Structure 1
Amino acid sequence: MTETTLTSLGWTPFFARQLTGDETGTPARVTAVHRASVTVLGPQGIATLLPPEQAGNYAVGDWVLHDGTVVIRLLDRQTEVSRRAAGHVALRQLIAANVDTLAIVTSCNADFNVARLERYLAMAGAAGCLPLIVLTKADEATDADDYVARAQKLSPLASVIALDARNPDAAKRLYPWCKDGQTLALVGSSGVGKTTLQNLLTGIADTTQGMREDDAKGRHTTTSRALRPTLAGGWLIDTPGMRELRLTDAAEGIDTVFGDLSELAQQCKFNDCAHEREPGCAIQAAITDGTIDADRLARWQKLLREDEYNSETVAEARARYKKLGKMYRGAQDARRNKRGDDL
């Protein structure tokens, strides 16, 4: 990529429509988020900016307007990849923004997990991204086509590719999703080949580590997110391996992945059907005739319960922190006013 323009960075009419006639800021895209600042890239080059709010409110891939020193305004996101943050604190964690395609990377071995793939597909659906399933280590599998067939059954919207991540020619099969200013984000467990794919797609050599032979689980290599140019003319966001993926505000994404069950549920005799032993349950009838797998129903119900709980707790935490922030600012104002009276 010889010249950096707004178009080459992924600027589209969606963002241009957000500008007003009297805007004074310069558009740029966030390439990295730090503790108290963000790094951006625009036609004028790279800059480190101070945001007017917590840097954690920004995501790699965001578009901002700036004056060369501070962020003036964060533009609305076209897509937003997020999850409930790890740990006991109920907060939403931003993963990436303005991603065109979410590449879910797993391996043709013990790392292949249907329930986990469905979670990532639901994340893609909730974010508004196109889903792409990338199956690595296809060269080591006895029957890679079987893994492909199982992955394709999970979503009619997802494209599926099986490859050897170490093969430069195989990595070029991902070019259609990361060219002409398009942004591709890689997600998945540690050690499945995300960093290797990143190296081949960007020409940047990062440290990679192998898999543990006993359980096919890898060691973390990527520790932070960054927006990098690809050799195909687009952009790539690699993400650290996720030990747990807890969905929040993902009802629409879950409905996309389990569309067949959602449609069947509309045919049940009772509107509040729990799909267990109720008479006239269309889903149980489909399980009986072999159309639907009972395990798939259980995974759907589990994700719905989890998303409802996480979404409620995150919303409650957000309201609580907002209330605490108002109280803190009020106490600060009171102390300032008292000092003024004392003078």
Structure 2
Amino acid sequence: MDNAMNGTQPLLDTYRLGRLHLPNRVVMAPMTRLRADRDGVPGDLMADYYAQRAGAGLIVSEGIAPDVPGQQFLVEPGLYTQAQVRGWRRVTDAVHAAGGRIFAQIMHAGRGGHPANRPDGGTPVAPSAVSRTDLVHTLDGKVEPVTPRAMTVAEITATVAAYAEAARSALLAGFDGVEIHGANGYLPHQFLADNTNLRTDSYGGGVAGRIRFPVEVTEAVADAVGADRVGLRLSPGNSQFEMVERDPGPVYRELLRQLAPLGLAYLHVTDDPVHPALDEARRDWTGTLVGNTGEHAPTTPESAAALIAEGRADLVSVGRAFISNPDAVERVAAGVPWAPIREKDFHYTSGARGYVDYPRHDEGAEPRGEGLLAAPLT
């Protein structure tokens, strides 16, 4: 690892991550943006968006569905058809041409899915038949959630295989690696949490049962593409999407103990104001640690640099700042502040506005163009 710290700005120090040489310590965090087409295929607009942000040490893509049951939104990208793989190849080629590096985040919605958001209109699946109570975004507005169907053991086995196949497809699409989304209320987190896993078989009950699905998924993905191309994101104690974990420490400690021998590229941890998730991960994980503190308070260049300087993380993932600052790292190097997000209503629309029209600091303050507008989901 290139661990010599830059005395004036640790975010700009280089880092060796598996097979990759990162030019800085800033990771662009995965962020849902909903710009794929109705078939989950990325287009040229998405290629432009990611290429604009290639200055990040590493880009982690928005969440990508590994299969139809894992789909959360109709215009969310997937990695389960050849057309989707070809679409992502345009994105990764553009990022690499701009000098960047990009991992695909594989994300299964679990109980967060909805028939209106699935191409087959199917009922979502989850560890147990426990519904969320919050309204679900669809292209036709917000709707009531549906109760998911508890997965059979055969379906769990098939889902593990779908993660592995999506990882193989990610490499075919030109990604440098993959990140398994095991945080923020998505399927692996649903197996880990108290209120969403009520199973009494070998995938529920005590710690060993709760961690079984995340372990099997991580092992299968690592076997498919090589452990040094695999990252895992976790958020111990995170209550997003109504998740409840009363005592996450022992669960995640055992999870990390079982995964440590694999030699993963990194562990990506979302910190929590109640549970010291990041500090516990630093204690229990000997490999590369990516820290994210932006879930509950906006990350600033100063707070990101402090995570590195204090040794709390090796890399820092930044989300919202990359929406309005395609040149977020270049701004740090130039001593230019991060610009605020201009129009939050355009986070999840289908056009260019609020997506690829934010200027670099050396281009002036005006947006690049209005783009195509669509009604916001929120």
State if a TM-score over 0.5 links the two structures.
no
Larger radius of gyration: 1
Q: TM-score, normalised by structure 2?
A: 0.29
